[in-house]
Structure 1
Amino acid sequence: MVKIIGAGFGRTGTASLKAALEHLGYGPCYHMFEVIAQPERAQDWELAMDGRVSDWQQVLGGFESTVDWPGCAFYRELMDFYPDAKVLLTVRDPERWYDSTYGTIYQFVQDPPGDDDFSAKLRPTIERMIWNGTFDGRFEDRAHAIDVFERHNAEVQRVVPADRLLVYRVGEGWQRLCDFLDVPVPQEEFPHVNDSASIRDLAAQVSADGEVPSPFTSA
């Protein structure tokens, strides 16, 4: 049963947050990497975009939290289905967010399609949901993309009841996150995963191994 819903866009520290939540006991955490590792999961999100998912446990069964796309695109539906779940909105400076997104995940899907499951199953879903859906096919228009990012963040804060929401920057570390979740602060340092230099290597490793490497040896 999902207990935490991540409403923040990708490239707002979501991979680090995934590792942190799993370390705190809210794992496994559903991240875009789950779909990279199992491209057949893209079908779930095609159905969701068509409004054909009524039982989210069929999509997220076995997971205790979600972050990143595709889940953040359906935070309202997830809030309704999991009324006791808390919502985490990860944010960062909009200009830096755009530069990071443009230089990493946007370029990642601009590569020529290959003869693989990513290209056949996942890439069309990502393009439909994110680049053509969320950003109206105009992600290269910097001002438009940043406006979409800021409007999304504002809408989350308008829609989600204050007692269910934490607006959070991963650079803040453990304290506010743990206070919000009412769990003890770990002794380990807060994880730092998936910086701009490593995204391609990490995605390739996820595709090969089927899981995201954890920075915690005990995880």
Structure 2
Amino acid sequence: MRIIGVGFGRSGTLSLRSAIERLGAGPCLHMQDLRSGDQAERWKRVADGARVDWREIFDGWQATVDWPACSRWREICAAFPSALVLLNYRDFDGFYRSVERTVWAVRQAARAGTLGPRPDGLVPPPAFRHVIETLIWQEDFQDRFEDRAWMERMYADRIAAIRQEIPASRLVEWRLGHDGWEPLAKALGVPVPTEPFPHLHDTDEFRVQAGLAQSAT
């Protein structure tokens, strides 16, 4: 593993995956990759608390961003001590609003039976939904997503813990809306690309792809 992304999803992770692969550090695992049954089953074992061989879990990958891996950041960073640790983040208000209108909205619509079909016709495997429910809603957010004050404290405390526990020599910080290629390229020791930094999967795009009604960001 070359890069371990430890920041939550909805913090530029799909754009980061594209950038990491453009810089030669891919392939990079992202939650979207769990829509294949094999990857989802691997991570279901993790979500269920099984003891796993992280090298087996990440077989075929050189990097990871987003959920599910960010939920197990301590274990994964310990398993790959030579990998860079990417702390991607954004301001809390932007993070909360994005989660509320994307993954939370999907969860609520699915529970209410109002989630429409995906435009691509893809039906994620049951293990995919199990991983999301277990790692995001039960573990990371402790079933308290609607408690905004608690979420804000948790979010700040988590970022502080990462900064405290990961040596500065390994840590690469990247802030959505502020940083582009430079922190990644510098850490990897490669030239900064001349093309614009990727901008993928904003709230509207997510909602359309997930079967939710499109609305303004």
TM over 0.5: yes
- Residue 172 of structure 2 corresponds to residue 166 of structure 1: yes
Q: What is the RMSD of the two structures over their aligned residues, measured on CA atoms?
A: 2.0
**Which blocks of at least 5 consecutive residues in structure 2 are unaligned?**
212-217
**CA distance 1:92–1:190, shift in 2 (3 Å):** same
- Residue 202 of structure 2 corresponds to residue 195 of structure 1: yes
Extract structure 1 runs of 4+ deviating beyond 6 A: none
1:79 to 77, 80, 98: 77
The CA deviation at 1:117 is 5.0
Alignment size in residue pairs: 202
The CA deviation at 1:28 is 1.1
1:67-125, Cα deviation, whole Å (9 max, x unpaired): 00001011111112111100000011111110111111111122226798536222122
Alignment partner, residue 22 of structure 1: 21
Alignment partner, residue 105 of structure 1: 103
SS at match of 2:10: coil
SS at match of 1:111: helix
The CA deviation at 1:4 is 0.3
The question of whether the paired residues in 2 share the 8 Å contact of 1:16 and 1:170 is answered with: no
The CA deviation at 1:42 is 2.6
- Give the TM-score taking structure 1 as reference length: 0.85
Percent of residue pairs bearing the same amino acid type: 40
The question of whether the paired residues in 1 share the 8 Å contact of 2:173 and 2:183 is answered with: no
The question of whether the paired residues in 2 share the 8 Å contact of 1:87 and 1:166 is answered with: yes
Give 1:117-136 correspondences, 5 Å limit.
118=124, 120-136=126-142
Q: Structure 2: which amino acid aligns with 1:24?
A: L
- Give the TM-score taking structure 2 as reference length: 0.86
* Alpha-carbon distance between aligned partners in 1 of 2:123 and 2:18, rounded to the nearest angstrom: 25
SS at match of 1:87: strand
